[in-house]
Structure 1
Amino acid sequence: MASIMVKREEPEGSMGGPVFHPPLYRQRYSEVINISRRIKAKKVIDMGCAECRLLRMLKREPYIEELVGVDYDGVLLRMSEHVVQPLTTDYLMPRDNPLQFTLMQGSIAEPDARLTNFDLFSCVEVIEHLDPEVLERVPLCVFGVLQPRMVVITTPNSEYNVLFPGFSGFRHYDHRFEWTREQFRTWCLRIVSDYPMYSVKLSGVGDPPEGREEVGHCSQMALFTRDDSDICATNTVGTPYNIVCSVDHPYVRPVTPIQKLCSEAEYYLNFLLKSRRDQLLNIDHYYDNNHPSGYDPSDGTEDNVDISGDTLQIKLTDLLSFPKIKALCSSGEEIRDALTLSSLVELNSAGECAVYPMEEGDSSDLSDDEYC
């Protein structure tokens, strides 16, 4: 089998024919990205990822949570490992959603169980690099086993080649074939006949010059869409692909309601504790000018901090006097359950009070001469 990952420069731009703006490869990638945006694809495969150009663009899409590039050439994949790594800006401005970015070495003709049921399978300018016996196995692997929600395949349109002056043969030395539109259409229709859960729409990328519309687009494109109501069970498959690298990108982990309640409860417990200790030591309130919303320094809230033996205790229900806590819950039991996430707050055996060890000065019974 020929290496899928032959370095594929843009051949059309050096043949003396029509010039594309933007370059043809960018137009192809834009088609894939637009499809991914339309369906909000969370899991995307780029088969035959070459220099990872498309992957560089896809990793900026905020809705994608799993991005996999696959190719047969492990050497060039390892040369592209840097593409997978987060940038400095990814740490400074992390994503809202997780992203696992993986490069895998494997064959398009051999399925891997880890790649089943993805949202989008991209195969841009790849099939023309495959030997006949490999190409023959592609439909079963992709449509019969992996069964992605959508598959986009592009390949050169050989009818367009007449627009390249003095051209003969194929556009790239590694191409095994270049199909006419009818040949590509026949191949696509055979796939949807063999795998009826899919339908196909044919189009193209790279418009022909005015007056030469009869040759069609420079690249032809097929978009296969799976009927979700008619998914066939896949056979048991192994995991033959080798992982070259896999990186989890930084993202802002969403705060659950119970986590937010825990954080707010920790803050207000610390506030009440600090206020009570300052009161016992006759220190002006630290929070007098920056007190929490809803707190009135004159209402005696800090008096709810009780001295019990060698501990200070605060009833969890007292936190309900703060509007932010009240907006998150309606009972001390909910606060108790949230504080099970905390490593800063210890509760009494009944789970009704937060307990803090006594510090010097916490007792209101100390006489002045004890400080002499």
Structure 2
Amino acid sequence: MEENNLECNSVVDGNVEEVPDKKVIKFNPPLYRQRYEFVKKLVAQHEPKKVADLGCGDVFLLRMLKYQKCLEELVGVDINEEKFKWHGCKLSACVGDHLDPRELDLIITLYQGSVLEKDCRLVGFDMVTCIELIEHFDSEDLAKFPEVVFGYMSPAMIVISTPNSDFNSLFPYSDFRDLDHKFEWSRMEFQTWALDVANRYNYSVEFTGVGEPPSGAEDVGYCTQIGIFHRKAQATEPDISEQQGQHVYQVAYTTSYPSLQQIKYRRRVVVYETYREVHRMRRKYKMGLTWCELEADPEDPDNPRRKFTSGLPSPQPLKEAEKSTEMTPKPFCIGDKFYVPLERIIAYPKVKHLCGNVEELRALIADAVELNCSGSAVQVDLDHYADC
């Protein structure tokens, strides 16, 4: 963290208005980014499948989280529909997402509505985040918040961040950090509230934060204080069916991502990986040819099989992927055709992961790759045009 001789109206989130001769604290990276990175690390650590961000605003956090491989559903809720119109499209899948599909399906949905209303579609999530949200509530709304989020939604984990007013003494102003804030709590106030809520709804809570104070002012704590709530183990999991109710929120935006769970994308990747391995083996074969020996092909005596040996230098240690193919049938040539048995192709870890067995591999590639008569090997020209 750096200190500069500047004053700013919004020192914590980077909107700087310069006024000389006063010190200000500048966070690097910006504080909003530190908060989102903190959540991202929690997701990577705990690997939730379903995450909802309440008060998602410009959807920046959702845009960061969508790349987490564990996620299958991302939801954002905000009362301001205008923000969705401007930022929702940033959540759409891009060309790269289609070329390199995710392992798991991912659906992203943005709901327009108040986080203080109960909507059954928000029940049963693994993680709910409330980043810089509660300080915008008046006392009446703050009283409703725990019942909706902790009592009704009842996610496995809840992450709540809010400004730490103890830190405000370091800023060159005495007002709240945002004009819309109804309160800003000290660490004692936040922890008292959080512990009371945790006890009422059977959660544990731990406290941390982001935005370290400058040297010599460590006693004020983090600029943003964070509570991480974990639902305690119960004899039985909450019965989600009992909490079904109305769909109060309006769907403002929804999108889904291509994944290997979807047959058309899995087929595309399998065909690509098959061609890649076949042509790699074909090139390797041709590079190592020093002599060929003709022998009768038992399936077709009039079309001799060429058997190759290699005159390359002593072989290098096998790569991990190649070790798995050592005990599989080897590629061979008949006439001007090069054949790679499917049993050898599926031995490669990535293909094995995508297909599982030879029958599934054959079914996925049959319409896009030329197979031999028995369907047991991929067939390509030995002298491929790409070599010319």
TM-score band by shorter chain is 0.5 to 0.7
In 2, Cα distance between the equivalents of 1:21 and 1:37?
A: 22
In 1, Cα distance between the equivalents of 2:151 and 2:227?
A: 17
In 2, Cα distance between the equivalents of 1:10 and 1:126?
A: 18
Confirm whether residue 216 of structure 1 aligns to residue 217 of structure 2. Answer: no
Matching residue of 1:242? 250
Matching residue of 1:292? 339
In 2, Cα distance between the equivalents of 1:74 and 1:148?
A: 25
2:45 aligns with one of 33, 38, 41: 38
In 2, Cα distance between the equivalents of 1:249 and 1:151?
A: 25
SS in 1 for 2:234: helix
RMSD: 3.6
Matching residue of 1:253? 261
SS in 2 for 1:247: strand
Confirm whether residue 57 of structure 1 aligns to residue 64 of structure 2. Answer: yes
1:199 aligns with one of 204, 209, 233: 204
SS in 2 for 1:208: coil
Confirm whether residue 115 of structure 1 aligns to residue 126 of structure 2. Answer: no
In 1, Cα distance between the equivalents of 2:248 and 2:176?
A: 32
Q: Given that residues 125 and 156 in structure 2 are in contact (C-alpha distance below 8 angstroms), is that contact kept between their aligned partners in structure 1?
A: yes
After superposition, give the CA deviation of every residue in 1:273-313 in whole Å (9 maximum; x if it has no partner): xxxxxx9xx9999964335345xxxxxxxxxxxxxxxxxxx
Q: Given that residues 343 and 358 in structure 2 are in contact (C-alpha distance below 8 angstroms), is that contact kept between their aligned partners in structure 1?
A: no
- Residues 241/164 of structure 1: CA separation in 2 closer, same or farther (3 Å cut): same
- Work out the number of aligned pairs and report it: 285
After superposition, give the CA deviation of every residue in 1:238-284 in whole Å (9 maximum; x if it has no partner): 210111111111122377xxx9xxx9xxxxxxxxxxxxxxx9xx999
Alignment of structure 1 residues 221-232 onto 2, 5 Å = 221-230=226-235, 231-232=237-238
Amino acid at match of 1:226: R
Amino acid at match of 1:53: F
Gaps of 5+ in 2: 1-9, 18-22, 272-299, 306-332, 348-356, 368-373, 376-388
Matching residue of 1:186? 192
Q: Given that residues 84 and 102 in structure 1 are in contact (C-alpha distance below 8 angstroms), is that contact kept between their aligned partners in structure 2?
A: no
In 1, Cα distance between the equivalents of 2:359 and 2:227?
A: 57
In 2, Cα distance between the equivalents of 1:57 and 1:42?
A: 15
How far 1:74 moved relative to its partner? 1.0
- Residues 291/219 of structure 1: CA separation in 2 closer, same or farther (3 Å cut): same
SS in 2 for 1:292: strand
SS in 1 for 2:27: coil
In 2, Cα distance between the equivalents of 1:181 and 1:125?
A: 15
- Residues 290/157 of structure 1: CA separation in 2 closer, same or farther (3 Å cut): same
- Residues 287/83 of structure 1: CA separation in 2 closer, same or farther (3 Å cut): farther
1:47 aligns with one of 54, 66, 83: 54
How far 1:343 moved relative to its partner? 10
Q: Which has the higher strand share?
A: 2
- Normalized against structure 2, the TM-score is what? 0.64
How far 1:228 moved relative to its partner? 3.7
How far 1:157 moved relative to its partner? 0.5
Amino acid at match of 1:26: R
Q: Given that residues 12 and 171 in structure 1 are in contact (C-alpha distance below 8 angstroms), is that contact kept between their aligned partners in structure 2?
A: no
How far 1:336 moved relative to its partner? 10
Confirm whether residue 173 of structure 1 aligns to residue 220 of structure 2. Answer: no
- Residues 209/60 of structure 1: CA separation in 2 closer, same or farther (3 Å cut): same
Amino acid at match of 1:81: G
In 1, Cα distance between the equivalents of 2:60 and 2:179?
A: 21
In 1, Cα distance between the equivalents of 2:69 and 2:11?
A: 28
How far 1:168 moved relative to its partner? 1.9
Q: Given that residues 11 and 172 in structure 1 are in contact (C-alpha distance below 8 angstroms), is that contact kept between their aligned partners in structure 2?
A: no
Alignment of structure 1 residues 327-342 onto 2, 5 Å = none
After superposition, give the CA deviation of every residue in 1:23-79 in whole Å (9 maximum; x if it has no partner): 111111111011101111111111111111111111121221111111011121122
Q: Given that residues 10 and 25 in structure 1 are in contact (C-alpha distance below 8 angstroms), is that contact kept between their aligned partners in structure 2?
A: no
SS in 1 for 2:185: coil
- Normalized against structure 1, the TM-score is what? 0.67
Amino acid at match of 2:153: L
Amino acid at match of 2:183: F
How far 1:175 moved relative to its partner? 0.6
Alignment of structure 1 residues 118-137 onto 2, 5 Å = 118-137=125-144
Q: Given that residues 95 and 250 in structure 1 are in contact (C-alpha distance below 8 angstroms), is that contact kept between their aligned partners in structure 2?
A: yes
In 2, Cα distance between the equivalents of 1:325 and 1:156?
A: 56
Gaps of 5+ in 1: 1-8, 264-278, 295-321, 328-333, 345-352, 355-372
How far 1:227 moved relative to its partner? 2.1
Q: Given that residues 65 and 98 in structure 1 are in contact (C-alpha distance below 8 angstroms), is that contact kept between their aligned partners in structure 2?
A: yes
Q: Given that residues 40 and 64 in structure 1 are in contact (C-alpha distance below 8 angstroms), is that contact kept between their aligned partners in structure 2?
A: yes
Confirm whether residue 97 of structure 1 aligns to residue 97 of structure 2. Answer: no
Q: Given that residues 71 and 105 in structure 1 are in contact (C-alpha distance below 8 angstroms), is that contact kept between their aligned partners in structure 2?
A: yes
How far 1:237 moved relative to its partner? 2.6
Q: Choose 1 or 2 for highest CA Rg.
A: 1
How far 1:99 moved relative to its partner? 1.1
Matching residue of 2:380? none
- Structure number with greater CO (CA < 8 Å, separation at least 6) is 1
